[in-house]
A and B are shown apart, each in its own frame.
Chain A
Amino acid sequence: MSSDISNSSHKPDGGSAQPKAPPMDKPKFWNDPKKRSLLFQVLLLSALGFVFYTIIDNTLTNLEQRGITTGFDFLTSEAGFGIAMSLIDYTEASSYGMTFLVGLLNTILIAAMGVFAATILGFILGVARLSDNWLISKFATFYIEIFRNIPLLLQIFFWYFAVLRTLPHPRQSIEFFGSFINNRGFIFPAPVAEDGFGLVAFGFVAALVGSWLISRWSAKRQERTGQQFPVFLTSIGLIVGVPLILFLLSGMPMGLEHPELKGFNFRGGITVIPELIALWLALSIYTAAFIAETVRAGILAVSHGQTEAASALGLSKGKTLRLIVIPQAMRVVIPPLTSQYLNLTKNSSLATAIGYPDLVNVFAGTTLNQTGQAIEVIAMTMAVYLTLSLLTSFFMNWYNARIQLTER
């Protein structure tokens, strides 16, 4: 019994002590933790090897019987189907490799849009739930409790089938400011750059660099003299003002390509397809409820003494939130926030249910059906999401290490 100690407590150098001890019976090898663990691991490896061998063997036999060739050659052959929305040039003559790329870009687009909207909405709701205004905090609570307890797929269906699909036909579009909303999506005029627009773009970049320099200078000055400088307002003024003045001075070098009703649909302009809108709405509204909860938990994790100290210093409520509470809360908020971003990215694969051409839809859906190369296609799709989540967790670890509280 006494030799049956667990592995966790047994240090590797524990056995080499007491050279003068009287010779004992050699313990049975299964009672030696080292040998036993070696045996376990060899057993596990051989079992895994056997399982994988059987699976691969079965798969090869099955594929041969169905006449499916393996390999990634299909990526260069012609896809032969169109995609409703593409960020790069894509035609039916493009290859399956291009299909993969289009799907990947569309996935990244919806993930980025969703992360942006969900973060803003989530932060507002998280702070609102802690508001001392009864109506605001109750409203935020209702929002959070309702939207996070309803399946995302149902919300996507609701926005797509019950809201956007019931909008009027293109001929009866709702029109405002030269834009149109109908059941084919949201159509707005496309900006077209003319000669001299480069100057405006240059002004914009210059204003960005300028406001960065100002913020550095003002931080240094505040450390030295204690005087504050309205960095935020100046930056906004620069970033909006400089390009605007250049735009007006150079004679407004930008035209608009207005959408026109031709036949049954609109030509020209930029069309945002309803699938994208529905997915975006549902993803942001759903994820915002979760983000709001992490934000609330983060704010509550900041000790109350900090808030009291801030009000003892005479900081206003807004300044307390902005300068004292939020920076400390971020330490608690960031890790769950990144996993919410990851969830949003993974959840964007539900796009396939309403036909938004994301990676799962065009690649694991249409491409798989046309080529039958299930193994390769599913493996590539999974690899994309796996890479994204590994990258995110690396970033999270790096960030966590960087903002870790350094105690003195």
Chain B
Amino acid sequence: MKYELQPAMPPPSNLIGVVGWLRKNLFNGPVNSVATIVIGFFLISFMVPVIQWIFIDSDWIGDSRDDCTSGGACWVFIISRLDQFLYGFYPEAELWRLQLAFFLLIGSIVWLVMPQTPKKGLVAVWLLVIYPVAAFFLLYGNSFGLIQVETHLWGGLSLTLVLAVVGIVASLPLGIVLALGRQSEMPIVRSVCVIFIEIWRGVPLITVLFMASVMLPLFFPEGMSFDKLLRALIGITLFQSAYMAEVIRGGLQAIPKGQYEAADALGLGYWQKMILIIMPQALKLMIPGIVNTFIALFKDTSLVLIIGLFDLLAIGQAANQDPKWIGYSTESYLFVALMFWVFCFSMSRYSQQLERKLHTGHGNRA
């Protein structure tokens, strides 16, 4: 008698394909089945009208509220004010300056984020040091033959980006100094840094902005006046540097003690040790944390509307009060929310991806 290996039978039809997937993921047990049906019902009865309102019954073309007739969302409102949402009250003839600054920013960020591009260090230095100065002259003007554009004309998405980028770039060096100070062995330096960090981290950004707009003018001699935007930027930078310091401290602490000791053994001085050995390793570990604080800052820039600056959200609020367009506030909130969401979500995805990449690298935990 011959024994032969029988070919494997196919799995039962209710374990593979669509049915199998449904059974495994949606109906694996009575409780889950009921939950699926109930939640599915609510989702469908909620999502269908919402999608209908946003896409199907909505109006896109036109130039006044009379063109919004179909009962759905009135995107005409947003489209007719798109320039204001993006650029605030920046003079139309000078818009190319904003756009140039924006494309330079996006270009350098894409360069840094793409894995295969060369010379990332140079681009980072350009983005963190040269770009902010160049962008200031480009946006503010009054030199190099450019017309001056007062900061009260800045607004919309571009102001939000200005606040966030300046906030993060300016708070980085301050945060590094504070983090190093907090790690220092000198008691006075350490306590000054700890007090500074804990005070800013303990109060809401709103009170900091109030302070910057009300108290700051009192601190300086008579006749020295600050621009409203500059005052907000000072407040945001001080506030942000405390958070940045904590992120950097986390990165410094993640470097094994052996690295510090090896640098000491080589006879490197404090600054040589920090700049040549510790910081290059720590900065890599800090990038996800820095991106996360950047996301928080990006969302927090919307608070400047309370002290009277016209960022993206404030432009939306102002548009809602336009008597010609009363009653379409949902559309403008949705649009502004979408703008913020796109930026924050892509940044958080990037930081998650980076964390995964760093995690699988050489184990660096002490």
On chain A, the residues within 8 Å of B43 by CB distance are 135, 139
User: Is A157 touching B313 in the complex (CB atoms < 8 A)?
Assistant: yes
**Bound Cα distance from A154 to B18, whole angstroms:** 41
Q: Provided the pairs A7-B186, A149-B341, A151-B340 are in contact, do residues A346 and B203 lie with their beta carbons within 8 angstroms? A: yes
Q: Provided the pairs A6-B273, A62-B218, A151-B300 are in contact, do residues A386 and B202 lie with their beta carbons within 8 angstroms? A: yes
Interface residues of A in 1-15 (CB under 8 A from B): 1-2, 4-9
User: Is B341 touching A8 in the complex (CB atoms < 8 A)?
Assistant: no
Q: How distant is B27 from chain A, measured CB to nearest CB, in Å? A: 9
On chain B, the residues within 8 Å of A37 by CB distance are 185-186
On chain A, the residues within 8 Å of B131 by CB distance are none
28 contacts between A and B (CB under 8 A): A5-B269, A8-B185, A37-B186, A41-B187, A41-B188, A44-B189, A61-B222, A62-B218, A63-B218, A135-B26, A135-B35, A139-B39, A149-B340, A150-B337, A151-B300, A153-B303, A154-B302, A154-B340, A162-B330, A162-B333, A346-B205, A352-B206, A360-B206, A368-B214, A381-B210, A382-B203, A385-B202, A386-B202
How many B residues, CB 8 Å from partner? 64
Q: Provided the pairs A353-B305, A385-B202, A389-B201 are in contact, do residues A157 and B317 lie with their beta carbons within 8 angstroms? A: yes
On chain B, the residues within 8 Å of A385 by CB distance are 202-204, 207
User: Is B313 touching A153 in the complex (CB atoms < 8 A)?
Assistant: yes
Q: Provided the pairs A44-B188, A134-B25, A151-B313 are in contact, do residues A349 and B207 lie with their beta carbons within 8 angstroms? A: yes
B60 interfacial by beta-carbon distance below 8 Å: no
User: Is A154 touching B337 in the complex (CB atoms < 8 A)?
Assistant: yes
On chain B, the residues within 8 Å of A264 by CB distance are none
On chain B, the residues within 8 Å of A62 by CB distance are 217-218, 222
**Bound Cα distance from A296 to B222, whole angstroms:** 54
A40 interfacial by beta-carbon distance below 8 Å: yes
B99 interfacial by beta-carbon distance below 8 Å: no
Q: Provided the pairs A162-B329, A385-B204 are in contact, do residues A8 and B264 lie with their beta carbons within 8 angstroms? A: yes
User: Is B25 touching A133 in the complex (CB atoms < 8 A)?
Assistant: yes
User: Is B333 touching A154 in the complex (CB atoms < 8 A)?
Assistant: yes
The one of B39, B218, B300 that contacts A136, using a Cβ cutoff of 8 Å: B39
A65 interfacial by beta-carbon distance below 8 Å: yes
On chain B, the residues within 8 Å of A395 by CB distance are none
A246 interfacial by beta-carbon distance below 8 Å: no
**Bound Cα distance from A134 to B320, whole angstroms:** 39
Interface residues of B in 282-310 (CB under 8 A from A): 295, 299-300, 302-303, 305-306
User: Is B269 touching A378 in the complex (CB atoms < 8 A)?
Assistant: no
Most buried by A among B186, B188, B206, B336: B206
Most buried by B among A41, A63, A139, A390: A41
- Beyond known contacts A139-B43, A154-B333, A368-B210: 7 more, CB 8 A cutoff: A41-B186, A135-B39, A139-B39, A154-B302, A360-B206, A374-B218, A382-B199
Most buried by B among A61, A133, A162, A386: A133
Q: Provided the pairs A41-B189, A45-B188, A162-B329 are in contact, do residues A152 and B210 lie with their beta carbons within 8 angstroms? A: no
**Bound Cα distance from A44 to B186, whole angstroms:** 11
Chain A's closest residue to B320 (CB) is A161
B260 interfacial by beta-carbon distance below 8 Å: yes
**Bound Cα distance from A298 to B88, whole angstroms:** 43
B211 interfacial by beta-carbon distance below 8 Å: yes
Residues 345-356 of chain A, each 1 if its beta carbon lies under 8 Å from chain B, else 0: 011011011000
Chain A's closest residue to B296 (CB) is A343
The one of A40, A48, A63, A152 that contacts B299, using a Cβ cutoff of 8 Å: A152
The one of A1, A6, A58, A368 that contacts B270, using a Cβ cutoff of 8 Å: A6
Residues 5-19 of chain B, each 1 if its beta carbon lies under 8 Å from chain A, else 0: 000000000000000
User: Is B26 touching A134 in the complex (CB atoms < 8 A)?
Assistant: yes
Residues 209-235 of chain B, each 1 if its beta carbon lies under 8 Å from chain A, else 0: 011001101111110000000000000
On chain B, the residues within 8 Å of A55 by CB distance are 219
Spell out B's residues near A (CB within 8 Å): 25-26, 28, 32, 35-36, 39-40, 43, 184-189, 192, 198-199, 201-207, 210-211, 214-215, 217-222, 260-261, 263-264, 267-270, 273, 295, 299-300, 302-303, 305-306, 313, 317, 320, 329-330, 333, 336-337, 340-341, 344-345, 348
Chain A's closest residue to B190 (CB) is A41
A73 interfacial by beta-carbon distance below 8 Å: no
User: Is A133 touching B204 in the complex (CB atoms < 8 A)?
Assistant: no
The one of B192, B202, B215 that contacts A44, using a Cβ cutoff of 8 Å: B192
User: Is A6 touching B333 in the complex (CB atoms < 8 A)?
Assistant: no
User: Is A58 touching B220 in the complex (CB atoms < 8 A)?
Assistant: yes
**Bound Cα distance from A352 to B217, whole angstroms:** 22
How many A residues, CB 8 Å from partner? 58
A202 interfacial by beta-carbon distance below 8 Å: no
**Bound Cα distance from A378 to B199, whole angstroms:** 13
A132 interfacial by beta-carbon distance below 8 Å: yes
Chain A's closest residue to B336 (CB) is A154
A364 interfacial by beta-carbon distance below 8 Å: yes
Chain B's closest residue to A345 (CB) is B204
On chain A, the residues within 8 Å of B340 by CB distance are 149-151, 154
Q: How distant is B106 from chain A, measured CB to nearest CB, in Å? A: 19
**Bound Cα distance from A59 to B214, whole angstroms:** 12
**Bound Cα distance from A347 to B299, whole angstroms:** 12
A145 interfacial by beta-carbon distance below 8 Å: yes
A205 interfacial by beta-carbon distance below 8 Å: no
**Bound Cα distance from A7 to B184, whole angstroms:** 8
Q: How distant is B143 from chain A, measured CB to nearest CB, in Å? A: 30
Chain B's closest residue to A350 (CB) is B206
A83 interfacial by beta-carbon distance below 8 Å: no
On chain B, the residues within 8 Å of A162 by CB distance are 329-330, 333
On chain A, the residues within 8 Å of B210 by CB distance are 360, 364, 368, 378, 381
User: Is B206 touching A386 in the complex (CB atoms < 8 A)?
Assistant: no
Q: Provided the pairs A154-B340, A162-B330, A382-B207 are in contact, do residues A135 and B40 lie with their beta carbons within 8 angstroms? A: yes
Q: How distant is A33 from chain B, measured CB to nearest CB, in Å? A: 9
**Bound Cα distance from A158 to B334, whole angstroms:** 9
**Bound Cα distance from A385 to B28, whole angstroms:** 49
**Bound Cα distance from A386 to B221, whole angstroms:** 29
Q: Provided the pairs A44-B192, A382-B203, A385-B204 are in contact, do residues A157 and B218 lie with their beta carbons within 8 angstroms? A: no
Q: How distant is A178 from chain B, measured CB to nearest CB, in Å? A: 27
Q: How distant is A118 from chain B, measured CB to nearest CB, in Å? A: 17
Chain A's closest residue to B317 (CB) is A157
On chain B, the residues within 8 Å of A8 by CB distance are 185, 260, 264, 270
The one of B202, B218, B300 that contacts A58, using a Cβ cutoff of 8 Å: B218
Q: Provided the pairs A40-B186, A149-B348 are in contact, do residues A135 and B264 lie with their beta carbons within 8 angstroms? A: no
Chain A's closest residue to B186 (CB) is A37
Q: How distant is A393 from chain B, measured CB to nearest CB, in Å? A: 9
A256 interfacial by beta-carbon distance below 8 Å: no
A300 interfacial by beta-carbon distance below 8 Å: no
Q: How distant is B229 from chain A, measured CB to nearest CB, in Å? A: 18
Q: How distant is B156 from chain A, measured CB to nearest CB, in Å? A: 14
The one of A65, A146, A378 that contacts B341, using a Cβ cutoff of 8 Å: A146
The one of B35, B261, B305 that contacts A133, using a Cβ cutoff of 8 Å: B35
